[in-house]
Amino acid sequence: MTATLQTRIDTAFAQHFGHAPTLHVRAPGRVNLIGEHTDYNDGFVLPCAIDFETRIAVGPRSDRQVRICACDYGDAIDQFDLDAPIAPRPDAQWANYVRGVVQVLLAKGLALGGMDMAIAGNVPQGAGLSSSASLEVAVGQAFNALHNSELLTPTDIALAAQKAENSFVGVNCGIMDQLISACGQADHALLIDCRSLTTQAVPVPAGLAVMIVHSHVQRGLVGSEYNTRRQQCEAAAAHYGVKALRDIDVARLERDAAGLDAVVLRRARHIVTENQRTLDAAQALATGDLQRLGQLMAASHDSMRDDFAITVPPIDHLVAILQAAIGPQGGARMTGGGFGGCVVALLPEALVPTARAAVAAQYRAPNGDAATVYVCHASAGVGVV
């Protein structure tokens, strides 16, 4: 798979720019095992980087031009000048992820030079596996490696990528997607404190598979609903007089709820309980307690369905199929922003054929499509190839 990516970017680079690249960088997509919508509430998340990635072939230029070939968009070309204002392109959303990162790096005062890039990725798009963060982090690493002798840490790159998505692309995301793409560790999940940005590597037990099942339910509402949920969480934090919902526990949530809108209370309850579930799940994963891990994943899904209201019936059905196939040896839950996208399951590798067969036999998307199954492994974060 990665060999194919490498061939594609090298071929496109030579064809469009007339010389060979100087270096190659990669950044992975991610799946969040548990901890949904907690990141922008200063809470805890437990993602792992996956072995699907964005790769970029990179070469320096003697002028101040940046030229990009997007192999996944029919070798579409973007070009801009580092000394001119960098504006979004309404006709090419993919280009804005690159432009946004470059603008943020320039604003940080980094000494950037002209560059040619050919980009390709195999992170499924629109599935909630952070193809956009993978692209942003890879672009940050390309400029860091070529022009700045690795001045930026992986966390610096993640923060720049998040700022680009917030301020340039216009998606008010938290830090999780970019941080796990930058800082992931092979064979480990990463418990991230989204307030302090401290991370703790959590070993994934040998023989445990990370199965991602794409529902093929189009995530049509996720943008507007994401911003609504964020506003509701901010309203709840203001009601309790705290900086973020991370700062209260369930006892305080219930005790001081008088006067809080009932819907906003449910949204807050999801965040508060999900934070604790995430900490508990990290412990269960580290000790190999798959039964406890499965219970926590099931409770997380129920909370997303009932309190945060971000699941849809086909996703609920898909989770139920997987939970029944896995039994007490792991678990399944929706992952990502909601309203479609993917389900993540953790299960022994020996149970993968059983779970795969159950999904094939019992699930169809509303449009009749079968689900797509990806069996992944926890992978390393951004780097030079």
The catalytic residues are 177
CA 310 to CA 322: how far, in whole Å? 19
CA 365 to CA 314: how far, in whole Å? 7
User: In sequence order, what E strands does the chain have?
Assistant: 23-34, 44-60, 65-70, 76-81, 115-121, 188-193, 199-203, 208-214, 331-335, 342-348, 372-376, 383-384
- SS3 breakdown of the chain: % helix, strand, coil, rounded to 5? 45, 20, 30
CA 207 to CA 253: how far, in whole Å? 39
Q: What SS3 state is found at 8?
A: helix
CA 320 to CA 148: how far, in whole Å? 49
DSSP 312-337: -HHHHHHHHHHHHHHGGG-EEEEESS
H/E run at residue 106: helix 93-107
Q: How long a stretch of residues is the chain?
A: 385
